[in-house]
Amino acid sequence: MLRKLFALLLVMSGLTTLPCTAADITLRLAAGTTGNHRYYHALLTEALKAAGHKVTVEVYENLPQTRILAYLDIDRLTAHWMLQTPERDTLYTRVDFPLTQGLIGQRVLFVPKGTEGIYANVKDLAQFRELGKTAGLGKGWFDVSIWEANKLSYVEQAGEWRQLFSMLAAQNRGVDYFPRGASEIGAEALLHPELAIEPNLLLVYQRDFVFYLSRGNAHLKPVMEAALRQAEKSGLQKRLMEEHFGSALQQLNLDKRVRLKLLTP
């Protein structure tokens, strides 16, 4: 009996100390063409290092979204940052920490150059809806449920979502605007000078990016959560957000835009 009790105490001790125990961690992460991935890579690696872990990063360059999900399914990627959804919660292990402090849920519109004036007099969601304009969204994105819930017109692009940039610029593919997160659109605008950032509106919903771990890496959940929470507390996350997004956010003038609050299902 005493031997069993001693063994149980050892197991419980290991469970309670595991998240704080330093370890060697290899992260296999995806990288995109815009450079937005650098923030998420930096936040995760620097947070883990600050928590005492030795971190090695292996990067997969320019993966389309479909390949990212496939790599998560087979543990070729350790984790990826995505909007939190109930479906993803069933497929992967969610790391409970808001990665952009809500910025990704503040949507700014890409529009074809010369069409910015269409939105200049919009003061509320009803007026925006009455314009009858159609958003371009990726197939299966959480935004699809948002646009449906708010009775906004949209088309879904199957396959490579980045084709939406050229579809929007063509002005003959049924796409009038492309909503992007405030933390994304600045870097993307540099790659797409044929498009304009609409200057008046900010569409807002309550969601954020979180890291999702592949099933084979689910054991890293408590380690990552502890490290990321400490990164928030220490100011590391705030510093990295300013470093990676600060300049672009200033140019967006978010505080001066008309905020259209979207219903989040």
Q: pTM for this structure?
A: 0.86
CATH 3.20.20.70 fits 103-207+252-261, yes or no: no
Quick one: DSSP state of residue 19? G
* CA 190 from centre of chain: 19
Q: What are 235-249's pLDDT values in tens digits?
A: 999 999 999 999 999
The tokens for 69 are 């999900």
Q: Provide the residue ranges of all domains of the chain, joining segments of one domain with +.
A: 22-101+208-246, 103-207+252-261
Are 22-101+208-246 and 103-207+252-261 in the same CATH fold?
A: yes
Task: Give burial (CB, 10 Å; 0-12/13-18/19+) of 228.
Answer: buried
- Spell out the CATH class of 22-101+208-246: alpha beta
CB 82 within 8 A of CB 208: no
54-61 and 24-31 as β-strands: parallel, antiparallel, unpaired?
parallel
Residue 50: predicted pLDDT:
97
Q: What is the pLDDT of residues 185-210, one digit of tens each?
A: 999 999 999 999 999 999 999 999 99
**Contact in structure between 183 and 81 (CB atoms under 8 Å):** no
Phi-psi sector, 41: left (phi>0), alpha (psi -120 to 50), beta: alpha
Instruction: Identify the pLDDT of residue 21.
Output: 56
Q: How confident is the model at residue 33 (pLDDT cuts 50, 70, 90)?
A: confident
pLDDT tens string 129-153? 999 999 999 988 999 999 999 999 9
100-119 pLDDT per residue, tens: 999 999 999 999 999 999 99
Closest CA to 28 of 197, 193, 211, 161: 211
Return the percentage of the chain with pLDDT > 70, whole number: 92
State residue 222's pLDDT score: 97
For the chain, give the percent of residues with pLDDT over 90.
Answer: 85
pLDDT at 51 > cutoff 70 = yes
For the cut 80, the answer to whether the pLDDT of residue 19 exceeds it is no
CB-based contacts of 70-75 (< 8 A; 24+ apart in sequence) = 71/30, 72/212, 72/214, 73/214, 74/214, 75/214, 75/215, 75/216, 75/217
Q: How confident is the model at residue 5 (pLDDT cuts 50, 70, 90)?
A: very low
Of 38, 104, 84, the C-alpha closest to 249 is 104
pLDDT at 14 over 80: no
